[in-house]
Structure 1
């Protein structure tokens, strides 16, 4: 009689403890009442549903599919509006002149280094291997078809594919590279219009569209907890718990790469310009804390602008470089994007060649610009990049389970990188010295 209860009792205790834990997590999510809290809670709930009710969970991937469709509708108008506003708002291109080119050059060099550090880190740890997130047969056939198409293209066609033949077609097919090229050219064209009566309505339209798409993104992100829960329930029911180990390896790899980026890139840049590190750390501690707590670079912008002014950077440089950097200098986010893209490839059993990874870096150099401060912006770009590379973008939804943890780190590095970039440009312009400032941070 004793032996007959020996097996069921531990199972009941384990099940009970899991449900008590889930109840506590759900209660905390209710108290916090934030998207991040609910995403974390849905991660645990989804795992439990996938483990206990696999026959139900196997159908819950429809939730992540709905979320993904909504995300894809945002990408083109968001990129268009933010890039047009970012370029055309500085209408006097001659006045921006030298400072603008120096800033853009700095942004491109540093973010490209960040992309390659992300690639190096994920290729070193290979965190996605063994996740067994194998694509379905239809996805395998689609990937093979895309590979065949790529092989049939010569270099001439690859270059042509960057430029839009029809912008409506590029938007409909989610060809984000063509959308970016069109948006940049449109923004430059708008900036060159000298008649304010003709220019202002279009600029106002782009600003309104940008603001609306920010709100649209906020609304869509309310679906994220359901998408994460459904994706993890489906993944656990299909692949088991082994996948979770890979997700936490991804988090560890990202933080390792972010620390390496700070030590190997940002610190040497500071040494080159003779940055007073102690004073700089005091100046950026408040905006960095805000960014870390809110996981939103934009929330830290007012504090960063104020503190950099007290630090000794002229207002005219802050007002141009810092907001522009929020569109073109997302060091933490760009590093994450290259890392996460290769992680998805590894997890789905796709071995990207070195050439393919370099091509992906080129795509990310363009697509990672213009969407700072938007909740879920990195995920938008990740999805579009995976689609462009012919990878299974639906598997990216599983990353959202740990995205809140990763977002804090990458957003923090975004803010640090932009604050440093502002000081660098001021130094290049000869308008900053180590003794500048009002003494607040001495």
Structure 2
């Protein structure tokens, strides 16, 4: 019997998780009891996500420093940074505009047939206005240790850029230190391999806990809204693949096959962070040189959240429609530009999209209570957003590598993938000592 690929195990785990969650939901109709049981089930997925978060900081630092040190000079770093940022801003604008167009075309908030939350209700989310000043001051870490402790990816990227450029300029003197950090990155990737073995169990627990609390009935209530949102996501995936095809040609489909496991993982756990190590591995196999992927990917996690971007405009307009508030095209464009700024650098905030939406609702006098409408299904929507973010970042990194001439030809990439498979098999075959 042919060995089942990891993506197959994740799919099976998702199905079992949904069945298990549904059984808990119908066996324990009291929401408090169901939530308590779900809390114990989700322990597995919580531990898995904590393990991933434990790895992200050192992994980003070590791979990025070595990548920049190998780039050679600050000019190369600046060039890659400029190209990546140009792609991210364009992709974000396209995602926001698509969300706005689809919400206006499909009108998901009209004739909801659901009781609207009282206008005075609060969703209890911190909704302080995000200013450019706050963003810029948050960009630079007060302390590297603090940004590592808080998993502030953007701050780790800023420090790593300085560190990598400094090592590159030291030349021969820094060779030992670069070698040591390179070994650290290999050690982190090895630990990642061990953690990823738990992925199917984490996926099963995440799906079971979500369905146990919310039940499958909630999906029927919000079928129109969720259907419209996922239709918009499919269109966004199509645009991203089309953009990838324009630069990478038919190879973009090879990339999609390579990231399927990362896609399913981020979808099932509703966390794009969970997929980060897997995407890095998929990009290695695709032929993207590590000095590009280790630089563009962490940036993407702060600046290139395509799924979350689209959700922001879509959800704000859905809530406005539900309360019968008409927003002119001029107002919608203003809102879109504000979202473009406020949503940057929000990757480290839990349920970042909801916080950004809450702040936007306040600015345009739309009842914040409308958020209570979508809170119940937000996890199901977050799955789609996270998976989209994973696709967007993978394609962006591959395109930047192609622009920079740092993408291996297909034959070399395939040979490299076979070598990685051999190394992985050798690791598994090693006998335990002791």
83, 101, 115: which one aligns with 2:96: 115
- Over 3 Å counting, the alpha-carbon distance change for 1:25 and 1:374 in structure 2 is farther
358, 368, 374: which one aligns with 2:333: 358
**In the TM superposition, what is the alpha-carbon distance from 1:116 to its structure 2 partner?**
0.8
- Give the whole-Å Cα distance in 1 for the aligned partners of 2:372 and 2:118: 16
**In the TM superposition, what is the alpha-carbon distance from 1:340 to its structure 2 partner?**
0.4
Q: Residue 275 of structure 2 aligns to a residue in which SS?
A: helix
Could you tell me which residue of structure 2 aligns to residue 437 of structure 1?
413
CA contact (8 A) 1:313 1:423 kept: yes
Q: Where in structure 1 are there 5+ consecutive unaligned residues?
A: 1-19, 38-84, 140-172, 191-198, 212-224, 230-240
Matched, 1:377 2:318: no
196, 199, 202: which one aligns with 2:143: 202
CA contact (8 A) 1:126 1:346 kept: yes
Deviations 1:135-191 (A, max 9, x none): 86879xxxxxxxxxxxxxxxxxxxxxxxxxxxxxxxxx955232xx11343357x5x
Matched, 1:250 2:225: yes
Could you tell me which residue of structure 2 aligns to residue 48 of structure 1?
none
Matched, 1:100 2:100: no
Deviations 1:111-155 (A, max 9, x none): 11011111111111111112376686879xxxxxxxxxxxxxxxx
Deviations 1:384-418 (A, max 9, x none): 12112221112202201111221111111110110
Aligned residue pairs, count: 310
Matched, 1:311 2:286: yes
- Give the whole-Å Cα distance in 1 for the aligned partners of 2:370 and 2:119: 14
CA contact (8 A) 1:275 1:434 kept: no
Deviations 1:95-116 (A, max 9, x none): 5201101111100101110111
Matches within 5 A, 1:21-36: 22-24=26-28, 30=37, 33=40
- Over 3 Å counting, the alpha-carbon distance change for 1:372 and 1:137 in structure 2 is closer
Could you tell me which residue of structure 2 aligns to residue 185 of structure 1?
136
CA contact (8 A) 1:248 1:402 kept: no
Q: Residue 177 of structure 1 aligns to a residue in which SS?
A: coil
CA contact (8 A) 1:299 1:373 kept: no
TM value normalised by structure 2: 0.61
CA contact (8 A) 2:287 2:413 kept: yes
CA contact (8 A) 1:286 1:303 kept: yes
Matches within 5 A, 1:157-176: 174-176=127-129
- Give the whole-Å Cα distance in 2 for the aligned partners of 1:286 and 1:310: 13
Could you tell me which residue of structure 2 aligns to residue 128 of structure 1?
109
**In the TM superposition, what is the alpha-carbon distance from 1:272 to its structure 2 partner?**
3.2
369, 379, 382: which one aligns with 1:404: 379
Deviations 1:241-266 (A, max 9, x none): 9x987732111111100111122343
Greater alpha carbon shift after TM alignment, 316-325 vs 389-398? 389-398
- Give the whole-Å Cα distance in 1 for the aligned partners of 2:119 and 2:386: 37
Matched, 1:274 2:249: yes
Q: Could you say what the CA RMSD is over the residues aligned between the two structures, in angstroms?
A: 4.1
- Over 3 Å counting, the alpha-carbon distance change for 1:32 and 1:434 in structure 2 is farther
Matched, 1:418 2:393: yes
Deviations 1:190-223 (A, max 9, x none): 5xxxxxxxx8x53444444556xxxxxxxxxxxx
**In the TM superposition, what is the alpha-carbon distance from 1:433 to its structure 2 partner?**
4.3
Q: Residue 322 of structure 1 aligns to a residue in which SS?
A: helix
